[in-house]
Each structure stands twice: as structure tokens, then as C-alpha cells.
Chain A
Amino acid sequence: MIPATSGGAQRPLLVSRPSVRKDTIIDRRNIDVEVTPRRAVFEVHQLSKIYRMGDVEVAALRSLDMKLFAGELLVLLGASGSGKSTLLNILGGLDVPTSGTVRFLDHDLTSANDAELTRYRREHVGFVFQFYNLIPSLTALENVELVTDISDNPMKAADALAVVGLTDRASHFPAQMSGGEQQRVAIARAIAKRPDVLLCDEPTGALDYETGKLVLRAIDRINRELGTTTAVITHNAAIAGMADRVIRMTSGGIAEERLNAKRLSPEELSW
């Protein structure tokens, strides 16, 4: 089992670490999804994002309201252009909204400047991308170390690789690994810092069916075992089955929101 206590000396930050006691969130495989009271990690209010493309304004998000609760696994479904990536980018501190507010715990992301957003990403957010985005000149282990080097209370890089089952590939360079392996390294890299949230943008988009499942299993395991609040965006409706909660987006707004009565394990999914 991976040690999962939060701790270490806290520096005064723009965004303080959440006071969620991670060690209280245990394996919830058989626990009712309705955990009350639920603490919102993200609170999004009246969020709009408008891109200007030449003379045309494109609204990627239209007055969207949503929350992401501590410890839950949320799947954001939507076709391309539905605004799900824009939402994820804003939550992750990669982009800023045109209007509306985004609160991470008790801090406002909308008014943060670049340096503050950088610190926010560094200390609280783990990212997983469709195209892995590993550093080609670093080995699997070093790619994880890249993050643990700049974190306050990281896991051991080797432990993070163990979580995704890649201990034996530690000294391989990205060019020497399959897509699925690369994506799992990316996941290890994302979780090594013990992030408060794990944001995954089409994590299986570039992978085949079997490999995709392997990657989802890693995400599922991290959410369950480490209790990391996780948001996965995908256009693949089948993946919604592994979520606690599913939000379906169209045209920059929420079309449907539902709770899964039972969370399926990735092995039970099929598409």
C-alpha cells in the first residue's frame, strides 16, 4: 500500500492545501456514492469563456455552474467542441475564463496571475493528456522525478511508477515504450506529487481498446486508493460507467448530470 498521508510543513500559499484528510477516504468500492456532507473542491459559478477568432466570437462555455467534490471521480462527457476541454483547462489553471468565478477550496482562481497559477498547478494539480506529453530526453523514472523534484511532499518516484505497474520500465526512454506505457508514466508523473485533483483530458484517446482499459484501471485505482479527486473528460460514453458522477456537456453548457448508482470497474466497461 502506498503511504498517503498529507503532511509536511505548509508554506503560506495563495491557495492553501485542502484540509481534506486523505487517510480518512478509504477504499469505497462498496460504499454508497452518496457521501454526506460532501466537500466541494471546485465551485464553478456562471463560467463563460469566449474565444475571438478573427471577427468571430466563439463561446466555448456559457454561464456554466458546477462543483467537483472531494474524492469523487467525475466523468465529463461531450462531443468535440462541447467545451469540456476548456472547462478542464480552466480548472487546471491553464486558461482563464472570460467571466464568472472558479473557486478552488476557499481560493479564487479567476483573479490569479500567471505566477500564482503556476504555483497552483505545481502544488495541487495532476494532469494527464491525450498525447502523454512526456519529456523525450528523460527516462520513465526521470519524467516522474521531474515533478517530485519540485514538490513539497511527493511520493518516491519509483513508488509512483509502481502504482501504474511500470517498475520494470523505469529506465526506458519514451521512444522505447508503447503508447499505453507512456500514458501510464504520464499518470505516475501526475500523481507523484500527491495532487489534490487529477485532471485527465481524453487519457485513452490515442490508445487502443486493451491499452485504454489498462490506463483507466490506473486512474480508477488512484482515485480509490489515494482518494484523489479526479475529473476525466472523454467523448467515449462507455467510460462514464466508472464514474461516481457524470456530466454531459453540449455547446458550452451542462446538458445532463447524473449519479451512477454503482461505479463499474474499468474491466466491466466495454466499447
Chain B
Amino acid sequence: MKALDLKLIRDLLRLKSQVVSIAAIVACGSATVIAMRSTLDSIQRARDDYYDRARFPQIFASLKRAPESIARRIERVQGVGSVETRIVASAVLDVPGLSESATGYFVSVPPEGEPTLSALYIRNGRQLSPRAEGEVLVNELFAEANKIRPGDSLAAVINGRWERLRVVGIALSPEFIFNAVPGIGMFADNKHVAILWMRRNALGPLYQMDGAFNDVVATLAPGANESAVIASIDDILRRFGGGHAYGRKDQLSNNVLSGEIEQLRVFGTAMPFVFLSVAAFLLNVVLSRLVATQREEIAVLKAFGYTNRRIGVHFLGYALAAVALGAVGGIALGIWVGRKYTALYVAFFRFPSFEHYSSAVLIASAVLVSAIAAITGALFSVRAAIRLAPAEAMRPPAPTAYRPLLLERLGFGAFLSTGTRMLFRNLERRPIRTVASVIGVAFSAAILVVGTFAFDSARYMSDIQFRTAQREDIAVGFTNPRHLRVRRELAEVHGITRIELYRSTPVRIWNGQRSRQLGLTGVEPEAMLRRLVDRSGRHYRLPAGGLVMTSALAKVLEIAPGDTVILELLERGGERRFVPVVALLDEMIGFNAYMARTDVNALLREGPSASGAYISVVPEELNAVVKHLGLFPAVAGSVTREAMLKSFDEQIAESMRLTVIIVVSLASVVALGVIYNGIRISFSERARELASLRVLGFSRREVATLLFGEQGIIDVLGAPLGLLLGLGLAYWIATGFATESYRFPVVVTARTYVFSLAVVFTMAVAASVAMRGRVYKLDLVAVLKTRE
């Protein structure tokens, strides 16, 4: 081994705690790259593989009822590959062990054999027997949430009659990787939403759908134009109550899955960037100091004829050592966190096989990115080493020049104690390093804010949704629009205190060439259970005489209040009506449009009718009411607010636990790395000064206060700045996620801020404790003997 390499190794050993703390930050950087990207890859792989193998359709359409012969017409549409018609229906479910009722979403499978599209994967139990009646398969997420096993029984209210259903198997479908069905809430509710597959010969008669279908899915032929195919299918189905076919993009489960993938992509880019910037900065500071203390050694090396290149490589070696060490830890940590994260997604997404997968290319690129960051950070100090002229390096560096503080120059010097002056002058003398340290500390606080604000936002959204907008106890949907007389029937149920009926219908809103398809909800103007609520929680009375739409939708369609739009009524085969837009509502999620229920009835040229009801009940009667409502033939399904809220809170709590642990660990590593190195470097630069103070009679505590005080000022400046930075990054990420219909609100609670500050200051104390021993053991005699 060459002597210079020995020097490198021994220096590294001497500086081991600094090297390790930088390596830890490099490790966090490469770990976040690997963890997030490998989770992303894993989900993408599982999804693509599953979509491919199970023949996930590309076109989805629902309608009221069409004879099976129409399927032939759809097959003949140019660009359509395979077509599969089905019967789908919602029903109230009675689940063993669940006090409240659940909503079952039935999907038919052919009387014999397997569906050609959206093939089912049987996880447990068996496939439905051919032409079996009374047998169902249930989806895995629901089965798990309710501990349902093959052999168990469920009861469903189908067209007002209790039907007993035997679960023969637990199944997965590419259409329900995420457990969401049309019309039910915006959050996953695995406990109360079930997907059930039933033979078509059994399901059809229950809904008078023999020889007919109300749902169709199709694949596209290679090279087909999706929107052209959708338009053709809409043309065919319009007179059967269809006409609003959509592609994968709008398929619920796929939409949620894509959103999650996009989120991982944003975080997987933003977080490593933060870590690697901090690591680069720390390397720069530590190496600059190393070069400064080794001036004479560098001079001697140069005097003996070592080339600049050799010396440059030598100093780069320190950075590469930190990268190598960090990469080893980062790969292990990244794969471990990636596994945990991937496992976390199993609570939301179900694939037949969902293995954590981290490719060699990903790992190599994570290491490469880390190395580039480290080398960038090291280059400045390496350049300083190369630039040293041998003769100049032999002399001690010029004494550092100080000057009075700006504050003192302004005449406020009298208010500062001698110690305080020392602290601030030291900070002022190296403005770049001070600012960089402040930013480093700020980043650690920012990581905490940005890593956990999503939970605050989700809680805020749930609060607005479940406490301000949605105030009913039970929401029920009818199988078909019903005459308002239904109110009287409902009112007879014991325990119901208020009923508000609504009428919803699918529409396409046109403004010139622009259009969007969505659900128009007709509500009671005096509604109290479902209110129009904007993103800040203010609620509005529905104005009469026109349409209210969400601002996001208005923006997409370029509509201002007062404009008139064309409503294409999909339920009425695409009939068009002109309707004025009277107001915009700034909702958080979705493209929604509202009108008075009576106005919707008028648009549809129907009598006073409703498609569902919002109901409030006497609290102790809730379960009884839900059970009772299930017996109504009119009721297709019901959702209780309480159950949704509870299941939402449970989900948040689960994913929050792991995320908080990871985020706190990462932020702590950054905070500790920045603060410890800050004190350590300051200590090595000022050991002599501190020893002098000790000799003059300053106690160990007083000297430690001076040393830690300097870092303390940086922490006190940096941490609150970090909260702001975190908030900024949160807005940046929220903007990154915003789709045209979905804007994530950025909400950070005081608790999150306080928690972030607490973590940073805890690390500051930890770093001080770690350094205290060195300060206390300062060798006064040795330090004083050395030349400055």
C-alpha cells in the first residue's frame, strides 16, 4: 500500500465520527432513492404484470339495460378487441361479526367457465361451480377485513328479499386492486365495501336481467384510438341508458393506483435531492477544514513532487469513502424500507403476487447519484488543496480577520455581552458556512414537515368531508329513481329523525369544444345533512335557477358564473339542455355539479323523484335502522358515516406509524449530522481559543456554552426556517400531485410544527452531549503549546 493511502486510512479512522455522520446522510439519500423507487417499481411491475395476465380491459361502460345481442354490435366497432358483457348491482349485505351493514357490489361471471376479460384469481377456496346458484366469491380486502373464509355465509338484500350466499372462494380482480366501487365515498373502506362475483345465470334473474346486461368492458385492438372507440360505444349504448363509457384513466381502482405511483415518483425524487444536497454540503465543510489543517502536509507532499492530480485524488478519497460507507448502509436500509413500504401497500392494493423488487440498475444508479453529489461537495475543498502553492502552504495561514458586528457598527454594541459578541462574530465571519448550516438544520425540520403533512391534510379533508359537508348518519342509494312518496315509506322506519332526498344523474357538461363527464346532484335547497362546503369549510346555500359547479371544473371548461353551458343528459340518451351557471364552489376534490332537486327533475322531464336519501337517526337506533333499510326493495346500498370515518382513521393510523418512524429517523440523521459536524468543526478550529479561556479561569460549562451557543444560534435560526421550507415543499408537492380534478389541500397543524421542532432540538441536545466529553477533556497544556 502506498504511504498516501495509509494516510488516507488513518485520517479516516481519526475522523471516523464525522465520516460516519456524513455516510449516514448519504445512506439516507440513497436509501430514499432505493426505497421509494423500488416500491414504485414493485407496484408498477405487479400492476403491469397483473393487467397483462388477467386481461384488464381498456374500455368500461355502464348502462341501464340492453339485450345481449347489442354485444355483437359493440364487437363490430372498429378498434374493439374483445368484449365482455356483465350484470353489476349493489345490495345491502349482512356480514357475520359486523354490527352495521355493508355494501355489496355484485359482478357477474359467465354461467360456465371464466370471464375472458378481468380474469379472477382465486386466492383461497375454489372457483364458482358451473351454473351455481347461491355461491359467491368475495374480494380479498373485504374478506380479510371481516375475517371471512370460504364456507362462511353472507346475507344480501336483493330486490327487497334476503338472499343467503355461500362464500366458496376469496378472489382478486384487476378491476378491484384498490377496493373502490362507483358511488361509494372517496376513501377505501375494506370493511364495508365488498365485491362479490356470482354466476350470471344466478344473478340475472334476481335483477330481471335475463338475456340482458347493464355493464360492458372491452379491450382495444392494437393501434386503436381510445376516444374514437368510446364515442362509437356511447353511440350504441345511449339509447340503453349508457353513453358514458370511459377508459382506464377513469377506472376507479386504476385511477387510485396511478395516483399513488405518481406520488411515489414525486417523493422519490424530492426526498433524495434534499438528503444528497445536505451530504454534499457537509462533505464540503469537513473537507475544507481538513485541507486547512493539513496545509503543511500538502506543502511537503508537493515539495516532494506529488502531482496536483495525486493530491486531488487523495482528498476525493475522503468523499468517496463516505459514499462507499453510506452506499452500503443505504442499499441495505433502502431495501429494508422498500420491503416495509411495499408491505404497507398490501393493505390498500391487492395483486396475485406482489413482491418487493429492487433492480440492480436502480441500486447502481442510487449509488452513482450519491457519488456525484458527494464529489460535487468535495470538489471545492479539493480545488483549494490543489491551488495551494508549496511555499505558501509552509507558512501558517494568515490570522483570521474579524470585524465588529453590523449591530455594533450601528451602535448597539453596548447591549451585547463579550460572549455574545464572540458567538455572533464567529457566525458573521463565515457567512456562507453559517447560512449553509442554517439551511442544513432547516432541511431536517423541513423533512419532518413535508414527510408528515399529508396526514394533517388527510385529517383536514376527512374533517371537512365527514363533519362539515356530510352530516347524515346513513346515505342510501336507490336501485332506480323513486317517486318522492318514498319519503313516507322511509319515515315509518323507527329511529329516523330526518330525511333529505337527492336526485343524481350522469351528465356531460359542454362549453364549446370542451366537455367533462360527471355526476350532477340535485339536492334540497334547504338541505342540512349534505351541504355545499368549500375547501376552507364554509358552507353555502344552493342558489336557485341554475347550476353550481366546482371551481376546478369551471377552470377546465373555461366557465365563469353567468355563462350558459350545455348539459348532455346521459340518462336520457344524450338529450341536451341549456343551463346557466350561477355559482362556483371551491371544493377540494372532484368535478361536481349541483342543482336544486326540483330543477334536476325538470331537466329530466320526470315527476318529483329521487335516486337516494341522506338520513339522520337517533344514535342508539343506527344499526337497527340500517338493517331495516336493507329490506326496502328500493334501497341498493347504504353507507354509515360513522363506519366510514372509523375505517378511514384506522387506515391513516396504520400508514402513519411506519411513515413517521421513517421520516423521524431520516430527519434525525440529517439534524444530527449537520449539528454534530458543525460543533465538531467549530471545536477543532477553536480548540486553542477554548483552551485559552479555560486557562483564564472559564469553567468547562462556560466554555461548552460558548461552543454550543454558536451552533444553538444556527439551530434556533434554522429550525423555524425549516418549518417554512417544509410548508413550501409541501405546497410544491401538493401542486405536483394536483390533477385537474383533485387538489390536495396543504394543511400543517401546530402539533406537526411543534413535533418537528422537538425532534430537531432533541438532536441538537444529543449532538452537544456527544461533544461534551471532548470539550471537557480538552488538553489545556497540549493545545497551548501548539502554534496557531
Interface residues of A (CB under 8 A from B): 85, 89, 92, 94-95, 114-115, 118-119, 121-123, 125, 127, 129, 131, 133-139, 142, 145-147, 149-151, 173-176, 189, 193, 201
Q: What are the interface flags for B668-710 relative to A under an 8 Å C-beta threshold, 1 for contact and 0 otherwise?
A: 0000000000000000000011011111111110100000000
Given contacts A95-B780, A174-B399, 6 further A-B contacts (CB under 8 A): A95-B781, A119-B699, A135-B692, A146-B418, A173-B401, A173-B403
When the two chains form the complex, which single residue of A92, A127, A135, A175 contacts B422, counting CB atoms closer than 8 Å? A135
B694 contacts across to A, CB distance below 8 A: 118, 121
Interface contact B697-A137, CB-CB below 8 Å: no
**Which of B418, B694, B702, B788 neighbours the largest number of chain A CB atoms within 10 Å of its CB?**
B418
B90 to chain A, nearest CB (A): 75
Find chain A residues with CB under 8 A from B698 CB: 118, 122, 150
What is the bound-complex CA distance between A134 and B702, given in angstroms? 17
Residues of B near any A CB (own CB < 8 A)? 398-404, 417-418, 421-422, 425-426, 429, 688-689, 691-700, 702, 780-781, 784-785, 787-788
Beyond A94-B781, A173-B402, whether A137 also contacts B695 by CB under 8 A is no
List residues of chain B with CB within 8 A of the CB of A121: 694-697
Q: What residues of A have a CB within 8 angstroms of the CB of B403 in the complex?
A: 173
**Minimum distance in angstroms from A118 CB to a CB of chain B:** 5
Q: Are B402 and A136 in contact (CB under 8 A)?
A: yes
Question: Cβ of B695: which chain A residues have Cβ within 8 Å of it?
Answer: 92, 94, 121, 127, 133
Interface SS of A by simple majority: mixed
Q: Are B400 and A175 in contact (CB under 8 A)?
A: yes
Q: Taking the nearest CB of chain A, how far is it from the CB of B311, in angstroms? A: 28
Q: Are B421 and A119 in contact (CB under 8 A)?
A: no
- B784's closest neighbor in chain A, by CB? A129
Taking a contact as CB atoms under 8 Å apart, the answer to whether A137 and B429 are in contact is yes
The 6 closest A-B pairs by CB, nearest first: A122-B697, A133-B692, A137-B425, A175-B399, A121-B697, A175-B401
Specify which chain B residues have a CB less than 8 angstroms from the CB of A133 in the assembled complex: 688-689, 691-692, 695, 784
Q: With the chains together, A32 CA to B398 CA distance in Å?
A: 47
Residue of B nearest to A92 (CB): B695
Q: Are B781 and A147 touching (Cβ within 8 A)? A: no
Task: Name A118's contact: one of B401, B402, B404, B700 (CB within 8 Å).
Answer: B700
- The listed residue (B689, B700, B702, B784) touching A136 by CB distance below 8 A is B689
Query: What is the minimal beta-carbon distance from B713 to any residue of chain A, in angstroms?
Result: 14
- Taken together as a complex, chains A and B put the C-alpha atoms of A7 and B730 apart, in Å, by 64
- In the assembled complex, the Cα of A142 lies from the Cα of B787 at a distance in Å of 22
Q: Which residue of B lies closest to A176 (CB)?
A: B401
Chain A residue nearest in CB terms to B692: A133
Rounded to whole Å, the gap between the CB of B699 and the closest CB of chain A is 5
When distances are taken between beta carbons in the complex, the residues of chain B under 8 Å from A189 are: 696
Q: Which residue of A lies closest to B702 (CB)?
A: A150
Q: Which residues of B contact A131 (CB under 8 A)?
A: 784, 787-788
CA distance A175 to B696 in the complex (A): 21
CA of A176 to CA of B399, assembled, Å: 9
Shortest C-beta distance, B215 to chain A (Å), equals 78
Establish whether residues A119 and B697, one from each chain, have CB atoms under 8 Å apart when the complex forms: yes
Pairs A–B under 8 Å by Cβ, sample size 25: A89-B780, A92-B695, A94-B780, A118-B694, A121-B697, A122-B696, A122-B697, A122-B698, A122-B699, A123-B697, A133-B692, A134-B692, A135-B689, A136-B402, A137-B422, A137-B426, A138-B421, A145-B418, A146-B418, A147-B697, A149-B417, A151-B697, A175-B401, A175-B402, A201-B784
Docked Cα-Cα span, A128 to B402, in Å, equals 23
Q: What is the minimal beta-carbon distance from B618 to any residue of chain A, in angstroms?
A: 72
**Distance (whole angstroms) from the CB of B706 to the closest CB of chain A:** 10
Chain A residue numbers with a CB within 8 Å of B692 are: 129, 133-135
Contacting residues, chain A, for B401 (C-beta < 8 A): 173, 175-176
Among B692, B697, B784, the one with the most A-chain Cβ atoms within 10 Å of its Cβ is B697
Q: Which residues of A sit under 8 angstroms from B417, Cβ to Cβ? A: 149
Q: Which residue of B lies closest to A135 (CB)?
A: B689
In the bound complex, what is the Cα–Cα distance between A268 and B359 (angstroms)? 84
**Which partner residue on chain A sits nearest B703 by CB separation?**
A118
Q: Which chain A positions have C-beta within 8 A of B785?
A: 85
CA distance in complex: A92, B692 (Å): 13
Pick the contact of B700: A114, A125, A193 (CB < 8 A).
A114
CB-nearest residue of chain B relative to A193? B697
- Determine whether the beta carbon of B400 is less than 8 Å from that of A127: no
Residues on A with C-beta less than 8 A from B402 are 136-138, 173, 175
Kindly report which residue of chain B lies nearest to residue A123, judged by CB atoms.
B697
The distance from the CB of A200 to the nearest CB of chain B, in whole angstroms, is 13
Closest chain B CB from A138 CB (angstroms): 6
With known contacts A94-B780, A137-B429, A175-B400, A146–B787 Cβ distance under 8 A: no
Please tell me if the beta carbons of A147 and B421 are within 8 angstroms of each other in the complex. no
Chain B residues positioned under 8 Å from A134 (CB to CB): 692
Q: A137-B421, A138-B421, A175-B401 are in contact. Are A115 and B696 (CB under 8 A)?
A: no
Q: Please, which residues of chain A bring their CB within 8 A of the CB of B693?
A: 135, 146
A174 to B404, CA, bound (A): 13
Contacting residues, chain A, for B702 (C-beta < 8 A):
150
> CA of A123 to CA of B418 in the docked complex: distance in angstroms?
19
* Docked complex Cα distance between A138 and B401 (Å): 10
Contacts of B404 in A (CB 8 A): 139
| Complexed CA–CA distance, A150 and B694 (Å) | 12
Could you tell me the distance between the alpha carbons of A134 and B400 in the complex, rounded to whole angstroms? 12
Q: Which residues of chain B are near A149, meaning CB under 8 Å? A: 417-418
Partner of A89 from the list B399, B691, B697, B781 (CB cut-off 8 Å) is: B781
Chain A nearest CB, measured from B622 CB (Å):
70
The answer to whether residues A146 and B696 also contact, given A137-B422, A137-B425 and a CB cut-off of 8 A, is yes
Contact of B697 among A118, A139, A174 (CB under 8 A): A118
B403 — nearest CB in chain A belongs to which residue?
A173
Complex Cα–Cα for A188 and B700 (A): 23
A150 to B701, CA, bound (A): 14
Residue of A nearest to B706 (CB): A135
By beta carbon, the residue of chain B nearest A121 is B697
CB-CB under 8 A from A146, the residues of chain B are 418, 693, 696
Chain B residue at smallest Cβ distance from A134: B692
Contact in complex: A142, B399 (CB < 8 Å): no
B696 CB contact (under 8 Å) in A127, A137, A139, A142: A127
> In whole angstroms, what is the CA distance A92 to B429 when docked?
33
How distant is B292 from chain A, measured CB to nearest CB, in Å? Answer: 14
Q: How far is the CA of A12 from the CA of B399 in the complex (A)?
A: 42
If A95-B781, A136-B399, A175-B400 touch, whether A142 touches B699 (CB-CB below 8 Å) is: no
Residues of A within 8 A of B700 (CB): 114, 118
- Bound-state CA distance A142–B402 (Å) is 13
Nearest chain B residue, comparing its CB with the CB of A190? B696
Contact indicator B697/A125 (Cβ below 8 Å): yes
Distance to closest chain A CB from B307 (angstroms): 34
Q: Which of the residues B689, B691, B699, B781 comes within 8 Å of A115, measured between beta carbons?
A: B699
A60–B399 Cα distance when bound, in Å, is 33
In the bound assembly, the distance between CA atoms of A115 and B776 in angstroms comes to 11
User: Contacts of B788 on A, CB cut-off 8 Å?
Assistant: 131
CA distance A114 to B704 in the complex (A): 15
Q: What's the nearest-Cβ distance from chain A to residue B426, in Å?
A: 5
Bound form: Cα–Cα A119–B702 in Å: 12
Question: Is the pair B699, A118 in contact by a Cβ cutoff of 8 Å?
Answer: yes
- Report how far A129 CA is from B402 CA in the complex, Å: 22
Give chain B residues whose Cβ lies under 8 Å from the Cβ of A173.
401-403
Find the A residue at minimum CB distance from B698. A150
**Which residue on chain B has the smallest CB distance to residue A201?**
B784
Within the complex, the shortest CB–CB distance from A144 to chain B, in Å, comes to 10
